[in-house]
Amino acid sequence: MAIMVVTSVLLFLITLASSFLQTNLGFGFSVLAMVFLPSLFPFSTAVTLNQIIVTAADGYLAIRYWKHIDWKTMFPLLVVSLVTGIIVTLCSMSAPQGILKLILGFALVAISIFSVWFSARIKVKPSPAFGMAMGCIAGFGNGLFGMGGPPVAMYFLTGINDKLAYLATIQCYFFLSNLTTISIRLTNGSVTWAETPYILIGWLGLGIGTWLGLKTFSNLPKNLLKKLVYGFVGVSGVVIAIQEILSR
């Protein structure tokens, strides 16, 4: 019982902080959440819980701003991402947890470096080919860890000028891609009815974190927040990778 209480409190804080980040940057929930969730749950369960929790917010925003979705820009990326995500998810279900955690550590470091130093400097004209390439990368991230946000955000930021259309399109992408991989993981027993309380607690943290994020949206220095958070993500990735290497 005590372990469940501690896990619930930690999960609430994780989802609160992650949703606060996503509200202010447009992505990042899964990146930050996956720093901590694998230490609380088996790896596949952690990925599935992460996706189920964040998909509630993605679905709400996608439906609310449905008429602003830029389907033409999203379609090439979405199709490739869905196909890649399905294949990678099916393959990762049987992969050793230690290998996945090691890959996660290196992935967090790569995302940190890219997000802090390179994402704002890369300016590529959007095209179907570029969208398909970003979709492939996002599909791998989504299938392995439930986090394909950075390449998707970079692609949509270069191809969608309207802020509301960007928000609607990226949230719709997350919603559709997560639904696909969640359905695969659920049929393989990654999450059972026993984890339902954790999903509800995660949604509570998500709601409060989103509310707090909206309250501070216009006042927070976004570049500073981005550097602090992704600097922490990078350090965490190094720690996860080193721990997994030393444990062998």
Chain segment 127-177, per-residue pLDDT in tens? 788 888 888 888 888 888 887 777 787 788 777 888 788 888 988 998 999
The candidate with the shortest Cα–Cα distance to 173, out of 2, 26, 25, is: 26
Give the model's pLDDT for residue 83.
Answer: 93
The candidate with the shortest Cα–Cα distance to 32, out of 95, 93, 104, is: 104
Would you place residue 78 in the very low, low, confident or very high pLDDT band (cuts 50, 70, 90)? very high
Give the model's pLDDT for residue 46.
Answer: 92
CA distance 132 to 218: 33
Give the model's pLDDT for residue 201.
Answer: 96
| Range 49-76 average pLDDT | 89
Range of the domain at 62: 2-246
Would you place residue 122 in the very low, low, confident or very high pLDDT band (cuts 50, 70, 90)? low
Q: Of 100 and 80, which is predicted with more confidence?
A: 80
Give the model's pLDDT for residue 225.
Answer: 64
| Average pLDDT value for the chain | 84
Which pTM value belongs to this model? 0.82
The candidate with the shortest Cα–Cα distance to 224, out of 24, 19, 81, is: 24
**How many domains, in total, are found in the chain?**
1
